[in-house]
Amino acid sequence: MTEKQDQDIRIIKKYPNRRIYDMQESRYITLGDVKKMIIENVDFKVVDAHSQKDITRNILLQIIIDQESEKDPLFSTENLQRFIRYYGGNQNQHFSNFMNQSLAFFQQQQEHFQSRMNEMLDQNPLNFWSSVGQQNMQMWQKMQQDWFSSLTKNESSKED
C-alpha cells in the first residue's frame, strides 16, 4: 500500500482485555460499531495493540460468527461443511476466486437494482402513478373500441 492509502485507513487497536479502540475517534468501540463501519464502507485495519500484527480477518470472522449465531444465518450447515472441505486442498484458491467473483457480481446486481429503484422513487410519485393510470386507461379505451368495432361489424354483416 502507498503512504496515502495507509493514511486513509482507520486504525482500530485490539487489547488483550478483548476491548477494541478506535484511534480516530479516541474511544472504545464494540463489534457492532465495527460492523456499522463495514456497512458504511469505512476502510479500517485492526491491529493487535502489543504485536502490531494485522488481525482484521480475525475480527471479521468474529462478526460473521456472531451473525451466524442469530436467527437468520446466511450460511446453511451444508454450505459451512463445503467451505471447510476446501481448506488445505488444491482447490482452495479456485474456490476463493469463485466466491470473490460471485459475491462481487451479486453486489453489482444489488447496487444496480437499488439505483433503478432510487431513480423511480426520485420521480414525483404522483406523476409516476398518473402515468401508469393513463397507460391503463388508454389500454382500456382501445380494448373497448376494438370490442365495439367487432360488434358493429357483426351487426352490419347480419344486415347484409
Higher pLDDT, 44 or 158: 44
Question: What value does the mean pLDDT take over residues 24-28?
Answer: 93
pLDDT digits (tens, 9 = 90+) for 121-134: 777 667 767 777 78
pLDDT at 33 over 90: yes
Q: Who contacts 14 (Cβ-Cβ below 8 Å, separation ≥6)?
A: 20, 21, 46, 47, 48, 49, 55, 59
Mean pLDDT computed over 41-62: 95
* Distance (Å, whole) CA 42 – CA 31: 14
More confident call, 126 vs 77:
77
Q: Do the beta carbons of residue 22 and residue 15 sit within 8 Å?
A: no
pLDDT tens by residue, 83-106? 888 887 777 778 888 888 888 888
According to the model, what pLDDT value does residue 52 have? 95
Does the pLDDT of residue 24 top 50, yes or no? yes
> Domain extents for the chain?
7-74, 77-122
| pLDDT cut 70: percent of the chain above it | 84
Instruction: Output 33-41 pairs: Cβ under 8 A, ≥24 positions apart.
Output: 34/59, 34/63, 35/63, 37/10, 38/63
Find residue 11's DSSP bridge partners.
Answer: 45
**pTM of the predicted protein model:** 0.62
Q: The C-alpha cell of 49 is what? A: 495493540
Question: Which grid cell is 35?
Answer: 460492523
What confidence tier does 3 reach under pLDDT thresholds 50, 70, 90? Answer: very low
Mean pLDDT of 1-17: 75
Cβ contact 86:95 at 8 Å: yes
